[in-house]
Amino acid sequence: MDFAQADAVNQAIRLLSLRHRARVATLLTPLGLHPGQEALLLELARTGPMIQAQLSGALGVEPPSVTLMTRKLEAQGHLRRTPAPNDRRATIVELTESGEKLAGQVKEVWCVLAEETVAGIADRAVAELPALLTTLARNVDAKQS
């Protein structure tokens, strides 16, 4: 690949990432959330209660970031954190009724964001997009090790 093509690919990915995150922030603001918190809520909605360390791994973020997010969401009444019965060092995180409602609102925002993002792209290409993006992420991850 020559520099011009490499530059075009890397710039497109960089710009998409920046603009997507900015749009997420705009859409989450009315819900009282910050980027990253929506992923945590959606993960708990998908999986149910999780040990905080497992949640960190599932989200691909450092444990201190998850601790900060869970504390803020707990203070707002959206999460409950309790000691794990078999390991007092571990904390189980689960959605409260308020958190479940908020996760439903986040799902609606997520649909809006996806529809905005893929507007004008053929349905066939949209169907292939998750696999393509997953491959890109896996390619980058493979080089991190």
Hey, what CATH class is 3-120 in? mainly alpha
pTM of the model: 0.88
- pLDDT digit string (tens) for 62-74? 999 999 999 999 9
Compute the average pLDDT of residues 42-59. 95
Q: Are 105 and 29 in contact (CB under 8 A)?
A: no
Could you tell me which residues are beta bridge partners of residue 97?
none
Cβ burial of 93 (10 Å; 0-12, 13-18, 19+) is buried
Q: How far apart are CA 128 and CA 120, in angstroms?
A: 15
Kind plus residue range of the DSSP H or E element containing 93? strand 91-95
Strand partners for 91: 83
Residue-level pLDDT at 15: 96
